[in-house]
Amino acid sequence: MNRICLFPGTFDPVTLGHTDIINRALPLFDKLYIGIGRNTNKQPMFSEQQRLNWINEIYQGNDKVEAVVYDGLTVDCCKKIGANYILRGIRYVNDFEYEKGIADMNRSIAQNIETLFLTCLPQYTSVASTLVRDVLKYGGDVSQFLPEAVVRTIK
């Protein structure tokens, strides 16, 4: 059986925190889908196409990584792409409490899909897309928090 994983998020924008989790998860899976979730409660700063382009550029030449856009339940996206794992990054203890609730719900809906948590490296603990967007809104320099592909587009 192939180990296929979905790493869901908004990736608005893709940060070094995201790529840290992705890069460290790659050896664990045969295929890693980056799932750009449509969240009707959030108004994204960057278009879906832009976020897809970033992921495709960052991971070009890596057949194990593929980006998809989805709406609805994450477990439904997993079923559609054949993923039996969901990957989530954890920065703080409260992230874990929040994510565990979602993982428990997902497991109730789809018993065959396992959620795995990776903690981010200490240097990325404060890197959240929300904070990056706030700094960007006010014209601040966020290049230290973003992959080169993202920095090039934002400037």
18 is catalytic: yes
Whole-angstrom CA distances from 15 to 10, 38, 129 are 11, 18, 7
The active-site residue out of 24, 64, 79, 91 is: 91
CA-closest candidate to residue 82, choices 140, 35, 14, 26 = 35
155 is catalytic: no
Q: What is the rounded distance in angstroms from the CA atom of residue 110 to the CA atom of residue 16? A: 30
Sheet of 114-119: strands edge to edge? 65-70, 31-37, 4-9, 85-90, 114-119
47 is catalytic: no
Q: Which helix (H) or strand (E) holds 8?
A: strand 4-9
The active-site residue out of 3, 42, 80, 152 is: 42
Find the radius of gyration of the CA atoms of the chain. 15
Q: Does residue 24 contact residue 117 with C-beta atoms inside 8 Å?
A: no
Q: Does residue 110 contact residue 77 with C-beta atoms inside 8 Å?
A: no
91 is catalytic: yes
Q: Which residues are catalytic?
A: 18, 42, 91, 129
